[in-house]
Structure 1
Protein backbone atom coordinates (compact mmCIF):
# COMPACT_ATOMS: atom_id res chain seq x y z
CA UNK A 1 0.00 0.00 0.00
CA UNK A 2 1.35 3.40 -0.95
CA UNK A 3 1.27 6.26 1.54
CA UNK A 4 -0.62 9.35 0.43
CA UNK A 5 0.97 12.64 1.49
CA UNK A 6 -0.72 15.98 1.20
CA UNK A 7 0.97 19.33 1.08
CA UNK A 8 0.01 21.34 4.14
CA UNK A 9 -0.36 24.65 2.28
CA UNK A 10 -2.94 23.18 -0.09
CA UNK A 11 -5.36 23.03 2.83
CA UNK A 12 -5.39 26.83 3.01
CA UNK A 13 -3.66 28.59 0.11
CA UNK A 14 -4.34 31.99 1.69
CA UNK A 15 -2.30 30.96 4.72
CA UNK A 16 0.63 30.22 2.42
CA UNK A 17 0.23 33.62 0.72
CA UNK A 18 0.16 35.38 4.08
CA UNK A 19 3.44 33.67 5.02
CA UNK A 20 5.05 34.67 1.72
CA UNK A 21 3.86 38.26 2.22
CA UNK A 22 5.29 38.38 5.75
CA UNK A 23 8.65 37.02 4.53
CA UNK A 24 8.74 39.57 1.70
CA UNK A 25 8.05 42.46 4.10
CA UNK A 26 10.75 41.18 6.43
CA UNK A 27 13.30 41.00 3.58
CA UNK A 28 12.38 44.47 2.33
CA UNK A 29 12.69 45.93 5.84
CA UNK A 30 16.12 44.32 6.29
CA UNK A 31 17.28 45.64 2.92
CA UNK A 32 15.98 49.14 3.62
CA UNK A 33 17.60 49.16 7.06
CA UNK A 34 20.93 48.16 5.51
CA UNK A 35 21.02 50.74 2.72
CA UNK A 36 19.08 53.67 4.17
CA UNK A 37 21.95 54.97 6.34
CA UNK A 38 24.23 54.95 3.29
CA UNK A 39 21.73 56.99 1.26
CA UNK A 40 20.70 59.41 3.95
CA UNK A 41 24.01 59.73 5.75
CA UNK A 42 22.13 59.02 8.99
CA UNK A 43 21.44 56.01 11.11
CA UNK A 44 18.64 53.61 11.89
CA UNK A 45 18.04 51.83 15.18
CA UNK A 46 18.03 48.04 15.24
CA UNK A 47 14.43 46.96 15.84
CA UNK A 48 12.75 43.70 16.87
CA UNK A 49 9.05 43.04 16.24
CA UNK A 50 7.07 40.46 18.20
CA UNK A 51 3.43 39.51 17.98
CA UNK A 52 1.53 38.33 21.02
CA UNK A 53 -2.04 37.67 21.95
CA UNK A 54 -3.86 40.71 20.62
CA UNK A 55 -0.86 43.04 20.32
CA UNK A 56 2.31 43.79 18.39
CA UNK A 57 5.46 44.97 20.19
CA UNK A 58 8.34 46.82 18.55
CA UNK A 59 11.62 47.29 20.44
CA UNK A 60 14.14 49.73 19.00
CA UNK A 61 17.66 50.44 20.27
CA UNK A 62 17.92 54.20 20.76
CA UNK A 63 20.70 54.75 23.32
CA UNK A 64 21.32 58.35 24.26
CA UNK A 65 17.93 59.62 23.11
CA UNK A 66 15.52 61.34 25.46
CA UNK A 67 11.79 60.79 25.35
CA UNK A 68 11.25 64.21 23.74
CA UNK A 69 13.64 63.28 20.88
CA UNK A 70 11.38 60.42 19.70
CA UNK A 71 8.11 60.38 17.72
CA UNK A 72 5.87 57.33 17.30
CA UNK A 73 2.91 57.28 14.90
CA UNK A 74 0.45 54.59 13.85
CA UNK A 75 -1.54 54.95 10.63
CA UNK A 76 -3.45 51.98 9.29
CA UNK A 77 -1.06 49.02 9.34
CA UNK A 78 2.09 51.17 9.50
CA UNK A 79 4.04 51.99 12.66
CA UNK A 80 6.64 54.75 12.27
CA UNK A 81 9.42 55.52 14.73
CA UNK A 82 11.37 58.74 14.17
CA UNK A 83 13.84 60.74 16.18
CA UNK A 84 17.08 62.62 16.30
CA UNK A 85 20.36 62.11 18.10
CA UNK A 86 22.31 65.33 18.47
CA UNK A 87 26.09 65.45 18.74
CA UNK A 88 27.07 66.38 22.28
CA UNK A 89 30.11 68.54 22.77
CA UNK A 90 31.04 71.46 24.96
CA UNK A 91 31.69 74.93 23.58
CA UNK A 92 35.16 75.16 22.09
CA UNK A 93 35.51 71.39 21.62
CA UNK A 94 36.08 69.64 18.30
CA UNK A 95 35.77 65.96 17.53
CA UNK A 96 39.04 64.12 16.99
CA UNK A 97 37.03 60.98 16.28
CA UNK A 98 33.26 60.52 16.12
CA UNK A 99 31.95 56.97 15.79
CA UNK A 100 28.52 57.26 17.35
CA UNK A 101 26.02 58.14 14.64
CA UNK A 102 24.07 61.37 14.93
CA UNK A 103 21.26 62.97 13.01
CA UNK A 104 17.65 62.21 12.26
CA UNK A 105 16.25 58.74 11.61
CA UNK A 106 12.87 57.44 10.55
CA UNK A 107 11.74 53.84 10.23
CA UNK A 108 8.33 52.71 9.05
CA UNK A 109 7.13 49.15 9.52
CA UNK A 110 4.25 47.91 7.38
CA UNK A 111 2.66 45.11 9.36
CA UNK A 112 0.36 42.39 8.02
CA UNK A 113 -2.28 42.98 10.72
CA UNK A 114 -4.96 45.60 11.23
CA UNK A 115 -3.87 47.80 14.14
CA UNK A 116 -5.81 49.81 16.70
CA UNK A 117 -4.35 53.34 16.87
CA UNK A 118 -6.10 53.96 20.20
CA UNK A 119 -4.31 52.37 23.12
CA UNK A 120 -0.77 52.53 21.68
CA UNK A 121 1.84 52.62 24.44
CA UNK A 122 5.47 53.69 24.14
CA UNK A 123 8.06 53.33 26.90
CA UNK A 124 11.72 54.37 26.83
CA UNK A 125 13.92 52.49 29.27
CA UNK A 126 17.69 51.87 29.31
CA UNK A 127 18.10 53.02 25.71
CA UNK A 128 15.36 50.75 24.37
CA UNK A 129 12.07 52.11 23.03
CA UNK A 130 9.23 49.62 23.46
CA UNK A 131 6.07 50.36 21.45
CA UNK A 132 3.03 48.17 22.06
CA UNK A 133 0.18 48.42 19.55
CA UNK A 134 -3.12 46.57 20.01
CA UNK A 135 -4.26 44.51 17.05
CA UNK A 136 -7.72 45.41 15.78
CA UNK A 137 -10.45 42.95 16.56
CA UNK A 138 -11.77 41.29 13.42
CA UNK A 139 -15.53 41.39 13.10
CA UNK A 140 -17.24 38.74 11.01
CA UNK A 141 -20.57 39.77 9.51
CA UNK A 142 -22.84 37.29 7.80
CA UNK A 143 -24.70 38.82 4.86
CA UNK A 144 -27.76 37.17 3.39
CA UNK A 145 -28.14 37.44 -0.38
CA UNK A 146 -31.40 38.90 -1.62
CA UNK A 147 -33.31 37.38 -4.47
CA UNK A 148 -34.13 39.36 -7.50
Structure 2
Protein backbone atom coordinates (compact mmCIF):
# COMPACT_ATOMS: atom_id res chain seq x y z
CA UNK A 1 0.00 0.00 0.00
CA UNK A 2 1.42 3.33 -1.04
CA UNK A 3 1.28 6.24 1.37
CA UNK A 4 0.20 9.65 0.20
CA UNK A 5 2.88 12.33 0.48
CA UNK A 6 1.47 15.72 -0.54
CA UNK A 7 4.92 17.39 -0.51
CA UNK A 8 6.34 14.82 -2.92
CA UNK A 9 3.40 15.31 -5.28
CA UNK A 10 3.74 19.10 -5.01
CA UNK A 11 7.47 18.85 -5.81
CA UNK A 12 6.75 16.68 -8.86
CA UNK A 13 4.09 19.11 -10.03
CA UNK A 14 6.42 22.11 -9.59
CA UNK A 15 9.27 20.35 -11.40
CA UNK A 16 6.98 19.36 -14.25
CA UNK A 17 5.51 22.85 -14.48
CA UNK A 18 8.85 24.67 -14.45
CA UNK A 19 10.65 22.17 -16.70
CA UNK A 20 7.84 22.21 -19.26
CA UNK A 21 8.05 25.98 -19.50
CA UNK A 22 11.82 25.90 -19.72
CA UNK A 23 13.27 26.96 -23.05
CA UNK A 24 16.79 26.68 -24.36
CA UNK A 25 19.58 24.26 -23.65
CA UNK A 26 20.17 22.67 -20.26
CA UNK A 27 23.55 22.49 -18.57
CA UNK A 28 25.39 19.22 -18.17
CA UNK A 29 27.23 18.36 -14.95
CA UNK A 30 31.00 18.33 -15.43
CA UNK A 31 34.33 18.01 -13.65
CA UNK A 32 37.60 19.65 -14.65
CA UNK A 33 41.04 18.80 -13.32
CA UNK A 34 44.69 19.16 -14.29
CA UNK A 35 46.77 16.04 -14.79
CA UNK A 36 50.42 16.82 -15.55
CA UNK A 37 50.65 18.92 -18.69
CA UNK A 38 46.98 18.72 -19.71
CA UNK A 39 43.51 19.42 -18.37
CA UNK A 40 40.75 16.81 -18.41
CA UNK A 41 37.07 17.74 -18.62
CA UNK A 42 34.48 15.03 -17.99
CA UNK A 43 30.77 15.66 -18.56
CA UNK A 44 27.86 13.36 -17.76
CA UNK A 45 25.70 12.73 -20.82
CA UNK A 46 23.86 9.46 -20.07
CA UNK A 47 21.44 8.19 -22.67
CA UNK A 48 22.72 10.54 -25.36
CA UNK A 49 23.49 9.22 -28.83
CA UNK A 50 27.23 9.79 -29.49
CA UNK A 51 26.32 11.09 -32.94
CA UNK A 52 24.51 14.05 -31.38
CA UNK A 53 27.51 15.16 -29.30
CA UNK A 54 29.43 18.08 -30.80
CA UNK A 55 32.67 19.60 -29.45
CA UNK A 56 33.87 22.85 -31.08
CA UNK A 57 36.79 25.18 -30.45
CA UNK A 58 36.46 28.73 -31.74
CA UNK A 59 39.48 30.78 -30.74
CA UNK A 60 39.67 30.31 -26.97
CA UNK A 61 36.02 29.20 -26.54
CA UNK A 62 35.27 25.48 -26.09
CA UNK A 63 31.62 24.56 -26.76
CA UNK A 64 30.00 21.19 -26.02
CA UNK A 65 26.52 20.49 -27.40
CA UNK A 66 24.41 17.34 -27.15
CA UNK A 67 20.82 16.31 -27.84
CA UNK A 68 18.79 13.71 -25.96
CA UNK A 69 15.57 12.39 -27.45
CA UNK A 70 13.21 10.11 -25.58
CA UNK A 71 11.11 7.87 -27.74
CA UNK A 72 7.73 6.46 -26.84
CA UNK A 73 5.11 4.76 -28.94
CA UNK A 74 1.76 6.32 -29.74
CA UNK A 75 -0.86 6.05 -27.04
CA UNK A 76 1.73 5.83 -24.25
CA UNK A 77 0.53 7.25 -20.94
CA UNK A 78 3.42 8.37 -18.78
CA UNK A 79 3.27 7.42 -15.11
CA UNK A 80 6.38 9.41 -14.26
CA UNK A 81 8.96 11.08 -16.46
CA UNK A 82 12.10 12.34 -14.73
CA UNK A 83 14.68 12.03 -17.52
CA UNK A 84 15.08 15.24 -19.47
CA UNK A 85 14.98 15.37 -23.23
CA UNK A 86 16.30 18.31 -25.19
CA UNK A 87 19.50 20.17 -25.87
CA UNK A 88 22.46 20.37 -23.53
CA UNK A 89 25.13 23.06 -23.77
CA UNK A 90 28.32 23.96 -21.95
CA UNK A 91 30.85 26.65 -22.90
CA UNK A 92 34.25 27.33 -21.36
CA UNK A 93 36.74 30.06 -21.98
CA UNK A 94 40.10 28.33 -22.35
CA UNK A 95 42.33 31.31 -21.68
CA UNK A 96 45.91 31.55 -22.86
CA UNK A 97 48.46 28.75 -22.82
CA UNK A 98 46.25 26.01 -24.32
CA UNK A 99 47.20 24.00 -27.41
CA UNK A 100 43.80 24.19 -29.14
CA UNK A 101 45.06 22.16 -32.12
CA UNK A 102 45.57 19.03 -29.98
CA UNK A 103 42.28 18.97 -28.02
CA UNK A 104 40.80 15.46 -28.16
CA UNK A 105 37.48 13.96 -27.01
CA UNK A 106 36.11 10.49 -26.28
CA UNK A 107 32.60 9.33 -25.32
CA UNK A 108 32.29 6.15 -23.31
CA UNK A 109 29.51 4.80 -21.07
CA UNK A 110 27.61 8.09 -21.09
CA UNK A 111 30.61 10.20 -20.10
CA UNK A 112 32.30 12.66 -22.45
CA UNK A 113 36.02 13.17 -21.74
CA UNK A 114 37.84 16.10 -23.32
CA UNK A 115 41.63 16.30 -23.03
CA UNK A 116 42.96 19.85 -23.25
CA UNK A 117 46.78 20.01 -23.54
CA UNK A 118 48.88 22.89 -22.27
CA UNK A 119 50.91 24.52 -25.06
CA UNK A 120 54.68 24.07 -25.10
CA UNK A 121 55.16 27.81 -24.58
CA UNK A 122 53.07 27.75 -21.40
CA UNK A 123 54.82 24.74 -19.81
CA UNK A 124 57.27 25.49 -17.01
CA UNK A 125 60.88 25.41 -18.10
CA UNK A 126 64.27 25.74 -16.51
CA UNK A 127 66.21 28.91 -17.27
CA UNK A 128 69.97 28.44 -17.45
CA UNK A 129 71.98 30.90 -15.46
CA UNK A 130 75.44 31.85 -16.70
CA UNK A 131 78.25 32.79 -14.36
CA UNK A 132 81.21 35.13 -14.83
CA UNK A 133 83.45 32.27 -15.88
CA UNK A 134 80.97 31.23 -18.58
CA UNK A 135 80.40 34.69 -19.98
CA UNK A 136 82.84 36.54 -22.22
CA UNK A 137 85.11 38.90 -20.39
CA UNK A 138 85.39 42.46 -21.55
CA UNK A 139 88.73 43.99 -20.80
CA UNK A 140 89.63 47.64 -21.01
CA UNK A 141 93.11 48.72 -22.10
CA UNK A 142 94.68 52.04 -21.35
CA UNK A 143 96.36 53.81 -24.18
CA UNK A 144 99.67 55.40 -23.40
CA UNK A 145 100.13 59.04 -24.15
CA UNK A 146 103.57 60.04 -25.26
CA UNK A 147 104.68 63.55 -24.62
CA UNK A 148 106.22 65.23 -27.53
CA UNK A 149 109.40 67.13 -26.68
CA UNK A 150 110.24 70.13 -28.57
Q: Do Structure 1 and Structure 2 share a fold, with TM-score over 0.5?
A: yes
Contiguous gaps of at least 5 residues in structure 1 = 1-37, 140-148
Runs (4+) off by over 3 Å: 38-42
Aligned partners of 2:100 and 2:49: how far apart in 1?
Answer: 23
Answer yes or no: is the 8 Å Cα contact 2:25–2:89 preserved in 1.
Answer: no
Counterpart for residue 138 of structure 1: 121
- Superposition deviation, residue 90 in structure 1: 2.2
Q: Which has the larger share of helix?
A: 1
Counterpart for residue 50 of structure 2: 67
CA offsets per residue over residues 99-140 of structure 1, 9 Å max, x none? 11110111101134432222222111111100112222227x
Instruction: Give the number of equivalent residue pairs.
Output: 102
Name which of 35, 51, 62 aligns with 1:79: 62
Contiguous gaps of at least 5 residues in structure 2 = 1-20, 123-150
TM-score by length of 1: 0.60
TM-score by length of 2: 0.59
CA offsets per residue over residues 65-116 of structure 1, 9 Å max, x none? 1210100012233221101111221233243321111101111011344322
Answer yes or no: is the 8 Å Cα contact 1:56–1:135 preserved in 2.
Answer: yes
Secondary structure at 1:100 match in 2: coil
Matches within 5 A, 1:107-126: 107-126=90-109
Counterpart for residue 53 of structure 1: 36
Flag the structure with larger Rg: 2
Secondary structure at 2:46 match in 1: coil
- Superposition deviation, residue 39 in structure 1: 5.8
